[in-house]
Amino acid sequence: MAMKYGAARLASNLRHHYARSASLLHSHATSFGYKEVSEEEKSKLVGNVFNSVASSYDLMNDLMSGGLHRLWKDRLVSKLHPFPGMKHLDVAGGTGDVAFRILDKIKSLRHSARQGGLDNFNEETKIYICDINPNMLNFGKKRAIEQGLCEEQSLVWVEGDAEALKFQADSMDGYTIAFGIRNVTHIENVLSEAHRVLKRGGRFLCLELSHVEQPLFKQIYDYYSFKVIPAIGELVAGDKESYQYLVESIRRFPNQDTLARMIADTGFQKVEYENLVGGVVAIHSAVKW
């Protein structure tokens, strides 16, 4: 009886395996962490991950990075060089982390200009916060209320796909994407859309977890990534699997030089990157000519 059950289970597993293989062949396969899934399946799985982590996003970022993610985002905005009257698009930015920093910087610049009697900015600042996940957008809107920004006209919240943006060509002065590009299905489509919506002279900046090359540091970083981060996710957020995926997605992401070449191949100029914390994080920047 046990042998019959075992044979039946084996046959069922084989059918599942071949059905899944056929599905992946007919719809292009892509990676979800270390797993190979169909493109349609990846979109759903990534959505599930961010639905799961939204409520504990701030706390987990602080715990995983020791609070350094705040300094990394500050550095990103400093490299952007925001200015009053700019039209900026922050993609995968539903939490508002980057957008709020850009707005604060612009307000500070405008305040300084007014004090010096130089406030002649006629253009209205618009910062579009675009995210495919409505839960992340709702989390960001809640944070805006907590920070007294709920009536801020400069912030515009948009549900949208980084691979198929709803914005007009040549409409943005700046484009940022922080910790979002490694979760998309087609990086090249995201880069192409970024190039399309930027004006000539518009700046592109990407902040992303990247690759450590120094051997000893890499060994420590790998242990922390694969052992500590999922454990923290389970303890704090009750979700080990989502954080296991996030760690795996970093290792599957192109390294710094490869991503730089992809950005240049899209048509961007002045492509460069800055490593932070030995390559744990990299900021890639470029300009559309």
Task: Assign 3-state DSSP to the chain and report helix, strand, coil percentages, each to 5.
Answer: 55, 20, 25
Query: Does residue 240 lie in a domain region?
Result: no
Q: Is the pLDDT of residue 110 over 70?
A: yes
Q: What is the pLDDT of residue 13?
A: 46
pLDDT at 150: 78
Are 177 and 92 in contact, with CB atoms under 8 Å apart? yes
The CA-atom distances, in angstroms, between 75 and each of 96, 161, 212, 281 are: 16, 25, 19, 11
The chain-wide mean pLDDT, for the chain, equals 85
Task: For residue 246, give Cα distances in angstroms to 45, 54, 256, 284.
Answer: 12, 13, 18, 20
CATH number at residue 80: 3.40.50.150
Evaluate whether residue 25 is within a structural domain: no
- Evaluate whether residue 8 is within a structural domain: no
pLDDT for residue 8 is more than 90: no
Instruction: Tell me, yes or no, whether 153 lies in a domain.
Output: yes
Is 131 annotated to bind ligand? yes
Within a domain: 126: yes
- Which pLDDT score is estimated for 7? 44
pLDDT, residue 126, reads 97
Copy the structure tokens of residue 186: 């087609």
Q: Is residue 95 part of a domain?
A: yes
pLDDT 10s digits, 162-208? 999 999 999 999 999 999 999 899 999 999 999 999 999 999 999 99
74 is in an annotated binding site: no
- Domain extent, residue 169, equals 67-211+253-287
Whole-number pLDDT of residue 1: 37
Name the more confident of 205 and 250: 205
Q: Is residue 202 part of a domain?
A: yes
- What are φ and ψ of residue 256, in 5° steps? -60, -45
Q: Is 95 annotated as a binding residue?
A: yes
- Per-residue pLDDT reduced to its tens digit, 92-103: 999 999 999 999
Q: Is residue 233 part of a domain?
A: no
Is residue 33's pLDDT more than 70?
no
Number of domains composing the chain: 1
Instruction: Write the pLDDT tens digit of every residue in 34-52.
Output: 556 577 766 665 666 666 6
pLDDT at 224 over 70: yes
